[in-house]
Structure 1
Amino acid sequence: MPIAPATPRSPSSALGRPTAVLTVAGLTATALLAPLAAPASAADAGSGVDDLRSDLDALLDDPALDGATSGVVVRSLDRGDVLYEHAADTALIPASNMKLLTSVAALDVLGPDHTFDTTVSAAEEPSGGVVEGDLYLTGTGDPSLTSDAFDDLAAEVAGSGVTEVTGDLLADDTWFDTQRLHPDWEADDEPYYYAAQISALTVAANDDLDTGVVNVTASPGGASGDPVEVRLDPAAGNLDLTNEASTGTPGSAAALDVHREPGTNQFTATGSLPAGGTDFSTLRTVHEPTDHAVHVFAGALEDHGVKVRGGVDRGTGPEAPEDAAELASAESAELSELLVPFMKLSNNGHAEILVKAMGRESAGEGSWQAGTAETAAALDRLGAELGEHELSDGSGLARSNQLTANGVAGVLRAALDEPWAADWEDSLPVAGAENRMQGGTLSERMRGTPAEANVRAKTGSLSGVSALSGYVTGNGGEELAFAVLNNGFEGAAPRDVQDAIAVRLAEFSRDTATSGQPDPLAQRAPERDAAGELECTWAGTC
């Protein structure tokens, strides 16, 4: 599938600006008991800077953050000084701000031109259209393999003249390890697409390139009591659907659910949809994504007239012989392009695939342990000073991840010194940009403010955890990096506070003071979303 182009670079882009070595005054643990913030040094103080600090103090005093811990830092990328910091060296759960680290490390380790290859091969060259023995489908983690891509592979096999395979169709996913779910993820999240199982061979179910899942759609029948039509897509021989759902009376409440029995691919639809009502649509994870991928491919081979006499299975070790005859191959878009759906839409599966790909590339082991170790090593090479940290996964879904606001801001600064910086910055969501492949998780935020089309930042959200970190150009043209990590709040995520901070930074001028307190939050940012405990793209709330 073609990857949508990233947001065009504006003249105020952070790239091309002068860079400087930053010196950060660290906060002690007792700083949380002190006033919110103080000037980093007397030399930094000035009418505009003092006023900024006063305003950010006031914004962080919002009741939404009562009882919460907020790590905040604002750095000038032009002058190298710290304009504001509060609890900036306190280790906090970053949620999807982890993806900032994962993407930067992947560009360093794998390179912006890295591609993922998927191949179809046989032990020997086919003779007379017949593959004597087994056919192998081998993956290296491509997160963009849609059902159409598997169909193209099957068409290529058929186009080579193959009509029959006497043995089995075997999937080889050994590029990564066999650990599908991270041990620190919540078990209750497993049915939902943001916590899909990770494999080196997987199917992207939609244009958003969500991997390891199926689309579930349902339509009401014509009259009350009629069955509801339920569909799984991409369908394959490894999936089994039991439909117990029915059509309710016109105007009745929609109450349909699709459940997958853990450890199986047995799906059951229950509940009802009202007659004359709208269709139902959701995503559900599959068990063993490799099995699903090879069965999708098996169906495509059959559609193209290639008969597999044996079974369809997942191998237990490296299956394809080293000198196997390649019959078909697919190459993904380059990593620089794949970053767009990954970062704009905060795709957890892509993050974990990149972590395991880094482990495989550098340590010969496609595992979380090897990959997160390489993430830390790459960031150290780039000069990003993480400070106190714990890296558990690539997406931020694990609550065992720990980062400081200063650590996140260090990554933001270090990335801009690299030759791939433009590709990386273009992958960040842009505030208020309506196109999802530009605005991403910030599409609905900060519209009609000075931050619109200015702030380029990564969101992050788990229950009780919210984050917003990235870049903004101040009113005086000064380029800033900022990191906001909120932990331990009750109720809805404080996105309006984060947005108000970003708007205030967009208004910042070092030589201009403002008067009084900042405008009320309601005048500066959209209302807080009371429903969103998960990343807005996960919960569909944005």
Structure 2
Amino acid sequence: MIKSFRSIAIASLLLPLALPLHAATVTTLSPKIQQALTANKISPASLSLMAVPLNGPGNTVIYNADVSVNPASTMKLVTTYAALELLGPTHQWRTEFYTDGQLKNGVLNGNLYLKGGGDPKLNMEKLWLLMRDLRANGVQQITGDLILDRTHFNLPQLPVFNDDGGDQNKPFLVGPDSLMVNLKAVRMIVRAEGGKSIVQMDPPLTNVRIDNQLRVGPAAKCPAWPDVRFNPVTQFDGTSLVVTGKIAEGCSGQSYLSLLDHAGYTAGAVRAIWKELGGSIMGADRSGEVPGKATLIARAYSPDLAEIIRDINKYSNNTMARQLFLSIGEKFRDKADADDSKAAQRAIRSWLARKNITAPHLVIENGSGLSRDERVSVREMNTMLQAAWQSPYAAEFISSLPLVAMDGTMRKRLRKTGMEGQAHIKTGTLNNVRAIAGFSRDAKGTTWAVVAILNDPKPWGASAALDQILLDIYRQPR
């Protein structure tokens, strides 16, 4: 009797893991998915799909699962899940101010060092609070230089990615840096009042001058964004931002740009905030390392990793993902690694091997998916998601993904289908890629690991087919 009871108990514990192994496997696409592909003139051969029930009944779907494909931003799932287990969900980054001088009567007689620790989310508010600490510690005037220590990462030399060959000042193209402030982005606000055009930049970088050549036209219906063009011109003493085009009387608009290099942006932001706080820096801006005998005078910590990956996955933030990828490399760097990108690749492959996940198709360049070289198969990605489902940090990982029809990059998809909030799905988009990956519930309450990646020269309308995959899972026959 006792032996029978124990057998039943053990069987009940193993049942959720056994179900996918005992269920049937489907190797064809449903008629509705085929119809969606045909309607958008996309070959079924362009689609790779794998969907596996994790804790209940259902037929596993496998289609082109072992083809090497470009995953676009679904690659962020590899980076963020690896980071959770390799760095830990409570991992934080530090940003610090040091000095090699002495403070007397509000004057810091020496240099001010700002040391970056690779914080993916060092925004203007955090930098302002850090500099408020300087003021609270009695610092007002700095007689020496502002020295930026950007040595935390051993940065790789990777090709600049630009999918459409357009404006290099797009914020989503910003690369990583040990001392990255505000994702190196500025918000440009334009408006027309009283026949005059007004152009403002936030934050107001001290080393960028605005050359306003914007013309004001007669009152008209305001467009979503006026006909305004920004042309950064780098000069020996800074950058001029030439603003041209036209705007109608009474209209306004805003846009985001990436200006300057990381060092120039950070120095301009620090000086702008310090000026607003009533302080002054007498010396120049330059790069250098914090000397061993320098004194720590202020420190700020980032949010923990669990919050960082939410920003990365919900809003598909490429720059933060690249910062996180290099943070893995910095943590596990050794002398054999050429840079922190190579170190991260090695660390992630070792981690996968320890989890018995073989991934011969996996190619990681920068960990964000903003790459032409990154590769994976949907079987490899799905196997990783199955492992994440069993991870002690499953809750943190899953909650970082966009909720269907509710937030992030999935907020406008599958509305009024009954699927609102029923799936956590990461999206991926490049010119020739459309992808989804994550966890989706069916109407019976079973959770599925689903990965669908479409590589096609003309993937326009592919989202309809990917959405149909999620609908097919949700509407599993009873």
Matching residue's letter, 2:301: E
Q: Are 1:483 and 2:451 matched, yes or no?
A: yes
- Using the alignment, how far apart are the partners of 1:158 and 1:74 within structure 2? 56
- Using the alignment, how far apart are the partners of 1:419 and 1:124 within structure 2? 47
Greater displacement, 115-124 / 60-69: 60-69
Where does residue 256 of structure 1 map in the other structure? 228
Where does residue 144 of structure 1 map in the other structure? 121
Residues 142-162 of structure 1: CA deviation (Å, up to 9, x unaligned)? 122222222222221121122
Q: Are 1:239 and 2:208 matched, yes or no?
A: yes
Q: Gaps spanning 5+ residues in structure 2: where?
A: 1-12
Structure 1 contact 134–166 (Cα < 8 Å) conserved: yes
Q: Percent identity?
A: 24
1:192 and 1:495, CA in 2 relative to 1: closer, same or farther beyond 3 A?
Answer: same
Where does residue 245 of structure 2 map in the other structure? 271
Greater displacement, 87-96 / 154-163: 154-163
Shift in Å, 1:452: 1.6
Structure 1 contact 385–411 (Cα < 8 Å) conserved: no
Shift in Å, 1:349: 0.9
Structure 2 contact 207–264 (Cα < 8 Å) conserved: yes
Q: Are 1:193 and 2:171 matched, yes or no?
A: yes
Residues 214-235 of structure 1: CA deviation (Å, up to 9, x unaligned)? 1111112323xx3x21111111
Matching residue's letter, 1:199: D
Structure 1 contact 72–484 (Cα < 8 Å) conserved: yes
Q: Are 1:132 and 2:132 matched, yes or no?
A: no
Where does residue 285 of structure 1 map in the other structure? 258
Shift in Å, 1:455: 1.2
**1:60-139 matched pairs, under 5 angstroms:** 61-67=37-43, 69-78=46-55, 83-139=60-116
- Using the alignment, how far apart are the partners of 1:408 and 1:272 within structure 2? 48
Structure 1 contact 171–291 (Cα < 8 Å) conserved: no
Q: Are 1:337 and 2:288 matched, yes or no?
A: no
Where does residue 141 of structure 2 map in the other structure? 164
**Local SS of the residue matching 2:40:** helix
Among residues 319, 328, 334, which one is paired with 1:349 in the alignment? 319
Structure 1 contact 62–497 (Cα < 8 Å) conserved: no
Matching residue's letter, 2:89: P
Greater displacement, 353-362 / 260-269: 260-269
- Using the alignment, how far apart are the partners of 1:311 and 1:296 within structure 2? 14
Q: Gaps spanning 5+ residues in structure 1: where?
A: 1-15, 25-42, 205-210, 434-438, 513-542
- Using the alignment, how far apart are the partners of 1:420 and 1:236 within structure 2? 40
Q: Are 1:174 and 2:124 matched, yes or no?
A: no
Shift in Å, 1:237: 1.7
Shift in Å, 1:416: 1.7
Structure 1 contact 457–468 (Cα < 8 Å) conserved: yes
Shift in Å, 1:371: 2.5
Shift in Å, 1:350: 0.6
Greater displacement, 186-195 / 84-93: 186-195
Matching residue's letter, 2:90: D
Where does residue 207 of structure 1 map in the other structure? none
Structure 2 contact 108–141 (Cα < 8 Å) conserved: yes
Matching residue's letter, 1:246: R
- Using the alignment, how far apart are the partners of 2:391 and 2:87 within structure 1? 14
Shift in Å, 1:381: 3.0
Greater displacement, 389-398 / 174-183: 174-183
Where does residue 221 of structure 1 map in the other structure? 193
Greater displacement, 246-255 / 472-481: 246-255
Where does residue 463 of structure 2 map in the other structure? 495
Q: Are 1:432 and 2:405 matched, yes or no?
A: yes
Structure 1 contact 73–405 (Cα < 8 Å) conserved: yes
- Using the alignment, how far apart are the partners of 2:17 and 2:356 within structure 1? 12
- Using the alignment, how far apart are the partners of 1:379 and 1:487 within structure 2? 25
Matching residue's letter, 2:199: V
Structure 1 contact 458–470 (Cα < 8 Å) conserved: yes
Matching residue's letter, 2:229: D
Structure 2 contact 20–60 (Cα < 8 Å) conserved: no
How many pairs align?
A: 456
1:342 and 1:402, CA in 2 relative to 1: closer, same or farther beyond 3 A?
Answer: same
Residues 81-104 of structure 1: CA deviation (Å, up to 9, x unaligned)? 861111111111111101111101
Structure 1 contact 97–460 (Cα < 8 Å) conserved: yes
Q: Are 1:460 and 2:428 matched, yes or no?
A: yes
Structure 1 contact 291–313 (Cα < 8 Å) conserved: no
Residues 357-394 of structure 1: CA deviation (Å, up to 9, x unaligned)? 11111106763333233333333333443341211112
1:19 and 1:356, CA in 2 relative to 1: closer, same or farther beyond 3 A?
Answer: farther
- Using the alignment, how far apart are the partners of 1:178 and 1:476 within structure 2? 48
Where does residue 20 of structure 1 map in the other structure? 17
Residues 464-487 of structure 1: CA deviation (Å, up to 9, x unaligned)? 210011111122222211111011
Shift in Å, 1:53: 5.3
Residues 106-137 of structure 1: CA deviation (Å, up to 9, x unaligned)? 11221110111110011255344433321100
- Using the alignment, how far apart are the partners of 1:71 and 1:189 within structure 2? 32
- Using the alignment, how far apart are the partners of 1:377 and 1:60 within structure 2? 40
- Using the alignment, how far apart are the partners of 1:257 and 1:169 within structure 2? 33
Shift in Å, 1:58: 3.1
Matching residue's letter, 1:63: A
Where does residue 451 of structure 1 map in the other structure? 419
Q: Are 1:414 and 2:382 matched, yes or no?
A: no
Where does residue 385 of structure 1 map in the other structure? 358
1:432 and 1:70, CA in 2 relative to 1: closer, same or farther beyond 3 A?
Answer: same
Shift in Å, 1:432: 1.1
- Using the alignment, how far apart are the partners of 1:109 and 1:212 within structure 2? 27
Matching residue's letter, 1:273: I
Structure that is richer in strand per residue: 2
- Using the alignment, how far apart are the partners of 1:152 and 1:375 within structure 2? 35
- Using the alignment, how far apart are the partners of 1:401 and 1:367 within structure 2? 17
**1:288-327 matched pairs, under 5 angstroms:** 288-315=261-288, 319-327=289-297
Shift in Å, 1:178: 4.9
Shift in Å, 1:22: 10
Matching residue's letter, 1:469: A
Structure 1 contact 116–332 (Cα < 8 Å) conserved: yes
- Using the alignment, how far apart are the partners of 1:309 and 1:269 within structure 2? 31
- Using the alignment, how far apart are the partners of 1:168 and 1:108 within structure 2? 40
Structure 1 contact 469–482 (Cα < 8 Å) conserved: yes
